[in-house]
Amino acid sequence: MLHFAIHGVSAILSKPSLAAKLLSETITWRGLTIANLSLHEELIACKLAAETRLGFDDGLHYYFAKHMGISIISFDKDFDSLDIKRFEPHEIIV
Protein backbone atom coordinates (compact mmCIF):
# COMPACT_ATOMS: atom_id res chain seq x y z
CA MET A 1 0.00 0.00 0.00
CA LEU A 2 1.31 3.43 -0.84
CA HIS A 3 1.88 5.83 2.03
CA PHE A 4 0.19 8.36 -0.24
CA ALA A 5 -3.07 6.38 0.01
CA ILE A 6 -2.96 6.32 3.80
CA HIS A 7 -2.38 10.08 3.84
CA GLY A 8 -5.27 10.57 1.43
CA VAL A 9 -7.73 8.63 3.55
CA SER A 10 -6.48 10.36 6.69
CA ALA A 11 -7.03 13.75 5.04
CA ILE A 12 -10.57 12.78 4.03
CA LEU A 13 -11.32 11.73 7.60
CA SER A 14 -10.14 15.20 8.63
CA LYS A 15 -10.45 14.77 12.40
CA PRO A 16 -7.19 13.75 14.06
CA SER A 17 -9.05 11.29 16.28
CA LEU A 18 -10.47 9.46 13.25
CA ALA A 19 -7.11 9.48 11.48
CA ALA A 20 -5.52 8.05 14.63
CA LYS A 21 -8.06 5.21 14.64
CA LEU A 22 -7.30 4.48 10.99
CA LEU A 23 -3.54 4.49 11.59
CA SER A 24 -3.85 2.38 14.74
CA GLU A 25 -5.91 -0.20 12.88
CA THR A 26 -3.66 -0.18 9.81
CA ILE A 27 -0.58 -0.87 11.94
CA THR A 28 -2.16 -4.18 13.06
CA TRP A 29 -2.68 -5.55 9.52
CA ARG A 30 -0.41 -8.56 9.11
CA GLY A 31 1.57 -8.74 5.90
CA LEU A 32 0.95 -5.12 4.95
CA THR A 33 3.91 -3.21 3.58
CA ILE A 34 3.77 0.57 3.33
CA ALA A 35 5.71 1.94 0.35
CA ASN A 36 7.12 5.44 0.14
CA LEU A 37 7.89 6.91 -3.27
CA SER A 38 10.68 9.41 -3.80
CA LEU A 39 10.02 12.71 -5.55
CA HIS A 40 11.89 11.31 -8.56
CA GLU A 41 9.52 8.33 -8.64
CA GLU A 42 6.52 10.63 -8.32
CA LEU A 43 7.79 12.61 -11.31
CA ILE A 44 8.05 9.39 -13.34
CA ALA A 45 4.54 8.48 -12.17
CA CYS A 46 3.25 11.88 -13.38
CA LYS A 47 4.65 11.19 -16.84
CA LEU A 48 3.07 7.73 -16.90
CA ALA A 49 -0.24 9.18 -15.70
CA ALA A 50 -0.22 11.74 -18.50
CA GLU A 51 0.62 9.08 -21.10
CA THR A 52 -2.19 6.81 -19.90
CA ARG A 53 -4.68 9.56 -19.06
CA LEU A 54 -4.78 8.65 -15.39
CA GLY A 55 -5.10 11.09 -12.53
CA PHE A 56 -2.14 11.76 -10.25
CA ASP A 57 -3.16 9.27 -7.57
CA ASP A 58 -3.91 6.48 -10.05
CA GLY A 59 -0.63 7.29 -11.79
CA LEU A 60 1.26 6.70 -8.55
CA HIS A 61 -0.38 3.31 -8.08
CA TYR A 62 0.17 2.38 -11.72
CA TYR A 63 3.85 3.35 -11.55
CA PHE A 64 4.37 1.36 -8.36
CA ALA A 65 2.61 -1.74 -9.72
CA LYS A 66 4.69 -1.63 -12.93
CA HIS A 67 7.91 -0.96 -11.02
CA MET A 68 7.29 -3.87 -8.63
CA GLY A 69 5.82 -6.20 -11.25
CA ILE A 70 2.61 -6.64 -9.26
CA SER A 71 -1.10 -6.37 -9.90
CA ILE A 72 -3.41 -3.66 -8.62
CA ILE A 73 -6.22 -4.39 -6.19
CA SER A 74 -8.89 -1.78 -6.74
CA PHE A 75 -12.51 -1.17 -7.66
CA ASP A 76 -11.26 1.47 -10.14
CA LYS A 77 -11.86 0.27 -13.71
CA ASP A 78 -9.56 3.00 -15.08
CA PHE A 79 -6.75 0.45 -14.69
CA ASP A 80 -8.44 -2.13 -16.94
CA SER A 81 -7.08 -0.74 -20.21
CA LEU A 82 -3.48 -0.81 -18.97
CA ASP A 83 -0.77 -3.44 -19.18
CA ILE A 84 -1.20 -4.63 -15.61
CA LYS A 85 -3.81 -6.91 -14.08
CA ARG A 86 -6.45 -5.39 -11.79
CA PHE A 87 -8.27 -7.46 -9.22
CA GLU A 88 -11.23 -6.40 -7.14
CA PRO A 89 -10.80 -7.02 -3.40
CA HIS A 90 -13.31 -9.88 -3.31
CA GLU A 91 -11.26 -11.72 -5.96
CA ILE A 92 -8.21 -12.06 -3.75
CA ILE A 93 -9.75 -12.87 -0.38
CA VAL A 94 -8.94 -16.45 0.54
Whole-number Cα distances in Å, 56 to 42, 51, 66, 75: 9, 12, 15, 17
The per-residue pLDDT for 10 is 93
At position 42, the amino acid (one-letter code) is E
Summarize the confidence of residues 55-62 as an average pLDDT: 95
Alpha-carbon gap, residue 56 to 1, rounded angstroms: 16
The per-residue pLDDT for 87 is 95
At position 38, the amino acid (one-letter code) is S
In sequence order, the 6+-apart residues with CB closer than 8 A to the CB of 54 are 48, 62, 78
**Model confidence pLDDT, tens digit, residues 1-54:** 999 999 999 999 999 999 999 999 999 999 888 999 999 999 999 999 999 999
Residue 93: pLDDT band with limits 50, 70, 90? confident
Prediction pTM value: 0.83
Domain segments of the chain: what residues? 1-36, 37-94
